[in-house]
Chains A and B, each alone.
Chain A
Amino acid sequence: MLHIEDLKVELAGRIILEHIDLDIHPGETHVLFGPNGSGKTSLLMTIMGYPQYQVKWGKIFFKGVDITNLPINERANLGIGMSYQRPPTIHGLKTRQMVMLCARGKNINPEELAARVRFENFLHRDINAGFSGGEIKRSELLQLMAQNPDLMLFDEPESGVDLENIALVGNTIAELLERDGFMDKDPTKTRYQQKKARTKMGLIITHTGYILDYVNADKGQVLYNGHLSCVTNPREILECISKSGYEECVRCITCNI
């Protein structure tokens, strides 16, 4: 599981996250809401281990290991992976090579994986070079499929994705996270047993909530001014935000949680 304890994070001399407590148990997927600039991406980058996000207080544990000061690659090797919103272009590195790198020696077929996100025609292109918003999302999912981490951090996976591809992106995320409809289809197990057997963890940033149409998340969180302010059913949070806005929502005036 991921366990975050009283986390305080500074970026470029400014405190951007404070008193963050968060637990994601094996098999759980959380959705993270919050207005622009509330610190959602910063929280993901801190969990991933970007050194410019300095942890000033608190700890992050993953699978029982204190990862607060571990470098990015060691966190990746422990099973944390991220789908970025604006990843950098690496010239001369083909998407196919990138997918192979993500697999870390595992036996994968890049063509087959790419076909699942309709990305076969991009394998020969430099990674992220001139990709549209939606293409970036599919490329990131393709890399996560090859990497197959246990905890997946998604930074606004539906932004920039056209209507034609939104279902593809949503369903792929659901599949990666072993959500309902994509669980191990063992007929000898009950639905409850299948759910219990699920191990993948997810933390998804969303603005619009569209992703909830495809990924049935367990919990919703609201990040506001660097604080996690509310934990409850993601549908309720979405409804509350769209009705009354974030400020009202975090004061829990309208939704009586």
Chain B
Amino acid sequence: MYNLQHIKEKAKSALNKSAKFGPDIDLSTFVKTVEPTKEGKDLTELSQEELKNILMAGIDPTEQSRAGTYFQRDTGVLKCNVKQDGVEVIPIKEALEKYNWIYDYYWKAVSVDADKYTAISELELHNGYVIRSLPGSKSVYPIQACLYISTNQLQQNVHNIIIAEEDSELHIITGCATSPHVKRGAHIGISEFFIKKNAKLSFTMIHNWAEEMYVRPRSAAIVEEGGLFLNNYISMRPVKSLQMYPTIYLKGPDAVARLYSIIVGNPGSEYDLGGRVYLQAPGSRAEIIARTISNGAKIIARGHLIGEVPEIKAHLECKGLILNGGIIHAIPELEGHVDGVEMSHEAAVGKIAQEEIAYLMSRGLSEDEATSTIVRGFLSIDMPDLPPQLKAEVDKAIEASDKEVM
């Protein structure tokens, strides 16, 4: 039987434990409770300004092109539905009350006592989503999940669990955004991913935060034999401080993980992010690709590949462009533990090559057009296995902030 008491105690013991990376946040400065949101409101009834913010985070308020929606405003669930057979979307609080199976996953990929952020999400959980694709199911449209903050100074504690059962295919787009009047707040989000045998999961996350937001996602994934986990992260808008280091365990033979992130850092924003993949079974493969642009931000771009068994292959690519001041600090790490691993990395921090600008200008583009063409190219990563619809959302997010990048 699952020892809930034991979990709570572990959490309590970690309440003052600072995270290994990123500046420490004084969580006592945030509001913890608000009037709970009532379920049932249609997303299209949100104000125009709010709609704009969630649209920029890849959320479709009409829900037409989505197989299901989970929308959490502050601490409560505004909307939770699913239109597609073979997929379940359940608020995690409901799942924890009703279903025993959830305890096979709850805190099984992320440790509850990792730091004070994991601890607080156990002790003061607001809600979050459980999305599960049943064995063999294939979703045509993505499920969308939005974690939205509409109360100034709120600290939102969220826990999500995503399960792709054997032979299933699941696509999720998740947008995190704040209401236009929110200046400051904190978002703590635990996400645990379970990709079963031969399942395929794509998870695309677009952040659209406010300038004084503190964000601490805590994510981990376990990928079984033949499974594929595709994780895309896009953050183009200002944020005060964001630190995350999602960790993927490739446990089964031929499991694959691909992590792509696109970051544009604005003045006053501080990022410490990266991806870590443990390759624990033969034939497993991993690819981490990060593109960062600094317009005056402080960006630490990490990456860590750990090859524990032979016959694994992994590559890490970390490229940064400093366009307008700031710091980009790339920290790629490769760790081979046995003979027969094959791992590589490529890191670069630089500027736009004058030669490329001149080349485009000789085709008739102005200097500004040439520069933005090069920047857009830099940010566009080929993301294989991502459905075209989601690729379009990624492109849209990049395009929308293009003006601000320049």
Contacts and interface: CB of A to CB of B under 8 A. Distances in A.
B378 A73 contact: no
B32 to A, nearest CB: 43
Given A88-B356, A92-B379, A92-B380, A72 B374 contact: no
Nearest to B353: A88
Indicate the size class of the contact surface on chain B: 20 to 34
A101 B356 CA distance: 14
Contacts of A72: 358, 361-362
A147 B363 CA distance: 7
Nearest to B378: A92
A60 interface: no
Contacts, number: 61
Contact of B363 (A76, A88, A91, A92): A76
Nearest to A51: B358
Given A88-B356, A93-B374, A82 B381 contact: no
Instruction: Say what secondary structure dominates the interface of chain B.
Output: helix
A170 B297 CA distance: 51
A76 B362 contact: yes
A33 B393 CA distance: 52
B366 interface: yes
B365 A91 contact: no
B356 A92 contact: no
B367 A73 contact: yes
Interface string A61-94: 0000000000111011100011010011011110
A167 interface: no
Most chain B C-beta atoms within 10 Å of own C-beta, residue among A48, A75, A101: A101
B363 A101 contact: yes
14 contacts: A50-B358, A71-B361, A73-B365, A73-B370, A81-B363, A84-B359, A90-B360, A92-B379, A93-B373, A93-B377, A101-B365, A101-B373, A102-B363, A126-B377
Interface of A: 48-50, 71-73, 75-77, 81-82, 84, 87-88, 90-93, 98, 101-102, 104, 126, 143, 147
Given A49-B362, A88-B355, A90-B377, 10 more contacts: A73-B367, A75-B362, A76-B362, A81-B363, A92-B376, A92-B378, A92-B379, A93-B376, A101-B364, A147-B363
